[in-house]
Amino acid sequence: MSSARVLAVEALLQVEFDGAYANILTNEILSQNDLSSADAGMFTDLVNGTLRWERYLDTIINYCSSREIVDLSDEVRSVLRLSTYSYLIRGTQAHAIVNEGVETIRNLDGERATSFVNAVLRRITERTAEEWRIYADQRVEDADQEAIMYSLPNWIVKVFQSQIPDQLERIALFEKQNQPPSITYLRRPGTETDTTGLAPGNWSPYALREIDKKLSRQKLKTGELTVQDEGSQLTSWALSMALIEGPDLNWLDMTAGPGGKAVFLAAIAQMRGAKLVANEIHPHRAELVRNVLRRSELNAEILIGDANFGAWAPKSFDRVLLDAPCTGLGALRRRAESRWRRTEKDLADLVIGQRKLLRSAIAATRSGGIVGYVTCSLHPRETTEIVLEAAKTHKIEFVDVPRLLPGIPLAPGPFLQLWPHRHDTDGMFMAILRVE
Ligand SMILES: C[S@@+](CC[C@H](N)C(=O)[O-])C[C@H]1O[C@@H](n2cnc3c(N)ncnc32)[C@H](O)[C@@H]1O
């Protein structure tokens, strides 16, 4: 059986070269390898943490290596990154790091690079993690300072610098984005759940946090719980709580895959005698929606198709959720590699899609009905700018979303913006548009 470290390096190589998603890949590898729970936890953290901290780790490795990191073999680069992450961020002992790093490269690549890896890791362990931070902080160019020290691409740092002018607060956000998110579950609305091994969430009445892994994992199998960030729960909750006049029987989730919010909405719809239609463009993601609803014993009509050409009549829904595809800048802590894959060009393309989908959502909503526009983003171009632009060309008014969520410290409405460092949720945005 391969060690957790060798498996982690193999996972890093698949993420870098095969475009694998770390969260899906780590689960697959864990299901194929019989690791103890301590090793499984270490494996997952090594993969995600090394990916998140990549730019900072490369900077330190470059200070200690006779060759630039980009010129190293893929295996050597990955082993050095992983060992440096273990040492600088996880706090593993210096002597263990050197021995384990050499052993891991030997396992993957034979003897030829062992002395090089040994030399670089010895140099890195000559300073403590704190000493390296001070050293690097003095050496990096001012323009790259936050991006290197908090391991982000420069363009993403610039977005946050314009959003959060206060540097201390910005750093609190960067630090939060570099930590693994705590696991939060959605308790299916309308059912009683035995909460042994679970603690209440911070904000959502349906959120539970994991205390005992074994107990909560059992409930996942039965569909009593689904994994869902509290920010996502709050958006579905707000959409279901906004008052509307007249009939309230037809609900639409326009872009439903993989089905997290569809579970929440289907459960509330069922309690109120309403019906949910869950639409998704990709058949395999529509299948995920079908499965999660089945596991949770909930009903919804599943449609597969482009929501811009929806298989429904105009103005036929009372409540519509548009959880639009976005850069995911609000969920960087959850998708470890995404900060290195996303580009400004993606942002421009996504914004075009978001505008179009919002027009289609408004067209699908009856007069007096509402559209919840949601993105897991902190970028104004895919949050406020999209809905303010729609307000110029459509007869809509905004519902005050923070007023639907009392007890949560939020900026004044009408929009909702959740922040990882303020709310310990993903950075979710929501606007609710009432269609005239
Ligand atoms: C942000 S995700 C939705 C997450 C989902 N609401 C949940 O909570 O699990 C966006 C989804 O929209 C789907 N999608 C993208 N463009 C679409 C379109 N034109 N019509 C329908 N679905 C679309 C994507 O495949 C993706 O599954």
Output the average pLDDT for the chain.
96
- What is the 136 CA–ligand 1 centroid distance (Å)? 41
| 15 touches 25 (CB < 8 A) | yes
Token representation of residue 53:
């901290």
* Sequence ranges of the chain with CATH classification 3.40.50.150: 230-435
Q: Is the pLDDT of residue 1 over 60?
A: no
Nearest residue to 422 via CA among 222, 62, 169: 169
CA angle 80, 84, 85 (to 5 degrees): 120
Contacts of 68 (CB under 8 A, 6+ apart): 62
Let me know the angle formed at the C-alpha of 420 by 417 and 425, rounded to the nearest 5 degrees.
Answer: 80
pLDDT reported for residue 193: 82
Count the residues in the chain.
436
3-state secondary structure 255-304: CCCCCHHHHHHHHHHHHHCCEEEEEECCHHHHHHHHHHHHHCCCCCEEEE
Distance of CA 160 to the CA centre of its chain: 17
Is the predicted pLDDT of residue 214 greater than 90, yes or no?
no
Find the 92 Cα to ligand 1 centroid distance in Å. 40
The rounded distance, in Å, linking the Cα atoms of 320 and 134 is 50
State if residue 232 touches ligand 1 by the CB under 6 angstroms criterion.
yes
Q: How far apart are CA 1 and CA 29, in angstroms?
A: 12
Find the mean pLDDT for residues 206-212: 88
Residues 7-29 pLDDT 10s:
999 999 999 999 999 999 999 99
Can you say how many angstroms the Cα of residue 296 is from the centroid of all Cα atoms in its chain? Answer: 23
pLDDT reported for residue 10: 96
> Region 195-223: what's the mean pLDDT?
84
φ/ψ region of 210 (left if φ > 0, alpha if ψ in -120 to 50, else beta) reads: beta
259 lines ligand 1 (CB under 6 A): yes
pLDDT tens-digit map of 259-272: 999 999 999 999 99
Superfamily for domain range 4-139: NusB-like (1.10.940.10)
Burial class (CB in 10 A: 0-12, 13-18, 19+), 375: buried
26-61 confidence digits (pLDDT tens): 999 999 999 999 999 999 999 999 999 999 999 999
Q: How many whole angstroms from 255 Cα to the centroid of ligand 1?
A: 4
Residue 346: CB within 6 Å of ligand 1? no
* pLDDT tier at 2, thresholds 50, 70, 90: low
| CA–CA separation, 197 and 180 (whole Å) | 20
Q: Give the pairing type, strands 250-253 and 275-280.
A: parallel
State yes or no: pLDDT of 318 exceeds 80. Answer: yes
Counting residues of the chain whose pLDDT is more than 90, the rounded percentage is 93
List the one residue out of 420, 393, 361 whose CA is nearest residue 177: 420
Question: Which CA distances in Å does 319 have to 311, 322, 361, 363, 433?
Answer: 16, 10, 10, 12, 10
Over residues 245-258, the pLDDT tens digits come to 999 999 999 999 99
For ligand 1, the distance from its centroid to the CA atom of residue 376, given in whole angstroms, is: 12
Best of 232, 280, 351, 358 for a ligand 1 pocket test (most atoms within 8 Å of beta carbon): 280
CA–chain centroid gap for 40, Å, is: 20
Question: Which tokens in the block code for residue 334?
Answer: 């959850």
- Per the CB < 8 A criterion, the answer to whether 374 and 61 are in contact is no
Chain segment 119-159, per-residue pLDDT in tens:
999 999 999 999 999 999 999 999 999 999 999 999 999 99
329 burial type by CB count under 10 A (0-12 exposed, 13-18 middle, 19+ buried): buried
Question: Are the C-beta atoms of 361 and 322 separated by less than 8 Å?
Answer: yes
Question: Which atom number of ligand 1 is nearest to the Cα of residue 307?
Answer: 20
End-to-end CA distance of the chain: 63
Least confidently predicted of 114-118, 208-212, 384-388:
208-212
Ligand 1 pocket: which of 255, 290, 326 to mutate (most atoms within 8 A of CB): 255
- pLDDT at residue 223 above 80? no
Give residue 196's pLDDT.
83
Closest residue to atom 27 of ligand 1, CA basis: 257
pLDDT band at 210 (very low <50, low <70, confident <90, very high): confident
Answer yes or no: is the C-beta of 281 below 6 A from any ligand 1 atom. yes
Comma-separated ranges of CATH 1.10.940.10 domains in the chain: 4-139
Residues taking part in catalysis:
376
- Given this structure, which CATH class describes domain 230-435? alpha beta
| Mean pLDDT confidence for 362-370 | 98
Is residue 41 lining ligand 1, measured as CB closer than 6 Å? no
Residue 408, class by beta-carbon neighbours within 10 Å (0-12 exposed, 13-18 middle, 19+ buried)?
Answer: middle
Compute CA 99 distance to the chain's CA centroid, rounded to the nearest angstrom.
Answer: 34
For residue 217, what pLDDT band results from cuts at 50, 70 and 90? Answer: confident
Question: Which residues pair with residue 253 across a beta bridge?
Answer: 278, 321
**How confident is the model over 334-344, as a mean pLDDT?**
96
pLDDT score recorded for residue 46: 98
Task: Yes or no: say if 416 and 432 are a contact pair by the CB < 8 Å rule.
Answer: no
User: What average pLDDT does the segment 179-195 reach?
Assistant: 90
